[in-house]
Structure 1
Amino acid sequence: SKAGTIISAIPAQSVILRTLELPFSDERKIREVIRYELEPHIPYPVEEVIVDFCILERQERGAKVLVAAVSKEVVADHLSLLQEAGIEPEIVDLELFGDLNTYFALYPSEKGEEVVGLVNVGASKTTLKVVQGKRLLLARSISKGGNFITEAIQKKLHLSFAEAEEKKLTEGETAEVFAVIQTALATLAKELEYTFFSYMARAGEERELQAIVLSGGGARTPGISEFFSQHFEVPVHRIGKEERLTALFPQIPPLSSSFTVGLGLALRGLNRSAQGMNLRQEEFSFRKSYEEIKGHLIFAGIVLLLILGLHLGTFYYRLGQKEERYQQIRSQIHAVFRETFPQTRVVDPIQQAKQKIQEGKNKLKAFGGITGAQLSSLEILRELSEKIPPTIKVDVFDLLISTESISMSGKTDSFDSVDNLKKNLETSDYFESVKVTNAKVGLDEDTVEFKLLIILQKS
């Protein structure tokens, strides 16, 4: 596994496995209900077991799920034993997934959609995993393993268990011992066959085994490969004899089939997408040591400071660039203002420029407008001269023209002349209204002084 990561496995005989079909495939929902779905299938109260699962197959309306239940007492004993040896596993998996990941590493693709039985013959139990391609179809354990064969030899030949085990491995091909082994293997094969076909019948599937891959210590039993090949009528391979094992992992010493679980767990440590479960849950959840957490925090702090320093450096660099650019633009504005208004002292060039522009607009309005919507002063004088009849003698004292109105002060010979002057001016299309604001007899009593307010048309 990765440096600092330890993965252990609970043996098959301590695990209850069940395959359930659920009406949904979302992992979060499955985790919420799986404990209660499993309750009718286990002999313990659900509060006393650790439960985990893996999805075997996502279907159109749900999922087929492999569920594992392990007594909390078993998990506690497992962790306690390892901790006494100074070992703290981050993940507690099942042995069956060790076999499975080793198989997928050794047979990555050439088996295609072939249905293969992975048989791990342990000391007290044999596990059967049936896979098709990369999919796990079935996982079951049988309470007979290598010890079952040894005990048969012990009973038949009246030997001690140790003597029977030695004869099984060293004299297994002799007629007397071989006959006992064959009888025991026949019992084991029938149970494997029954397990496989009963599952297929319940699942409503018609699949046949096309190959068997043996592993575990019991796979070293003389004649086991040949017996299973004849019984199931399929080719049988033993992982410990595979040349591809040393070809794939040349840095690892030659392994027997007994080490497939350990190799598979190590492969999971290297590849977190590999299949597996984790029984370190609830009160057994993995907690890193204070020193490890402290080390991670220090490392994270250093990285954070480096990132912060990088951002601050970038910020001040960009700020300096912007300040330099600002000074360049400011100098250019001063130069343009001095060139445009050479007689004006520069204080605030932008505000001064706005003021100069407004003054220019006002002057332009007075002498012809900017857009043509306003009358010029010359046009107003021409309109006044055209609208004052030659028969009326008018002397103008003051004439004040703005963008909105005209104020006229003068004198004429009578009040009737003032009234006629008003009426004639009202005929102009440029004047909205004409109002006499004052009219009185002049000082010489032969004239009338008047004041007119003329409102200009707005457009």
Structure 2
Amino acid sequence: MARRLIGVDIDDNFVRTALIDDEKGVLTLLGVHQRPRAEADELAVILREVIGEPRLGDRLAATLPASATFTRWLRFPFSEEKKIAAVLPMELSLQLPVASETCTLAFQKPIPVENGFRVAAAAVQTSAIESALAPFDQLEIPLNVLGLAPFTLARGLAFLIPNGLLVTLNPRETTLALVVDGEVANYRLLPNPADIDEIQLAEGILREGNLLRGSTGKNDFTFYLIGSGATPSLLERLRDQGETADIPRIELNGQPLAAEFLPALALAQRAGVSDRDRGFNLRVGRFALKSEWGRMKKRMLAMAILLAISLVMLSTSAYLAYSRKAGTAAGLQQEMNRIFKETFPGTQAIVDAPLQMRAQLAELQKVGQMVGAGDSFSTLNILAEISRHTPTDIKVDIRDFNYTPESIRMEGVTSSFDAINRLSKTLQQSPLFEAVRIDDAKMSLDGNQVDFRVTLSLRKEL
């Protein structure tokens, strides 16, 4: 089943979204949308209009501006994420202008360098995260990734810009990031575009760009402009100074995608990146996203109540027809429509509330069977089967579990290559799996564990 990847780019004037269809790793850009923000409009209402009703499996990503974060590059003699998380508060507290207790801390995947590992770490005021998540949580829109500019944008555009100088221009801020191998190696926060003219902006981009390039000893980095402030005139000013500058090109319906939609596209791409590939995501701790199964159970309960109300209404309507109390029946109809709209705010029109409600309930029941309320091939039953056939004397840490009606793909770590072979042989004995294939197995950098990827083909019939 295909999933949707949705990038949500919010600035002071517009809310822009990009929608990507992810069909087993094949990504297709379906469309982009923007909605102007008026002062009287609530952001939550605008988000509902541009995103619609979330579906099971959707992944959404948004980002905080660089000006809302304190970013530092730290060095550690180790790469274990648990150790880094333990010492990070102390390390950052020595460098931050605010108390670390008022911030939420995050860090990216350690990068090997000479004499240790380099880690990009960030501290964000907890109140800023609460404000950013509030409109999504208000309407139960599952925002999976809340990243940081320009890191999240660079990660999403790595397929277009593996190396270069990424310039993001919007009404809030201008950032200039040095991107090396798809990751931000350093960046600069430039003055707000509203406070300077285009000539000063171009001069600032060139000046800071030269400083960033100088730190690498190379001068062949191209300027790539994205965002609503990436105008043709600014592009020409950079080119007039002998620089190589461009707007990343990706097509939608045969036409180049406008620069103002590229940040939303980058966020949609980032939404599809595995959580195991650690990047900045402030959906941690008390801000962690609740499971989709919990939200679905709440929805099914509401639908069961609706079904009961509809049955009562149908019975009452028949009685009231004989008793000439059509007014009361109309009141019940209005009440059911009101509850239906509250439960499904994305429904544009209600023609036959009971029929629409039954259709919605049937759809949720199908989804419920998929995630664990039904036959032998439900997700929970398969997880239980894998657990039963895993040898008890080996340690297996599953980091990524991808389920489709045809197969299961698991990625994780274990202690040795022999443990992987034993796991494969015992899983082959299960009547649920037609074939077990070890796709990849390699020793980790520290030599203490083995990373592996296994594919389990489900039997068509038992």
The TM-score, its normalising length taken from structure 1, stands at 0.50
Q: Which structure carries more helix by proportion?
A: 1
Pair member with larger Rg? 1
The TM-score, its normalising length taken from structure 2, stands at 0.50
Q: Which structure carries more strand by proportion?
A: 2
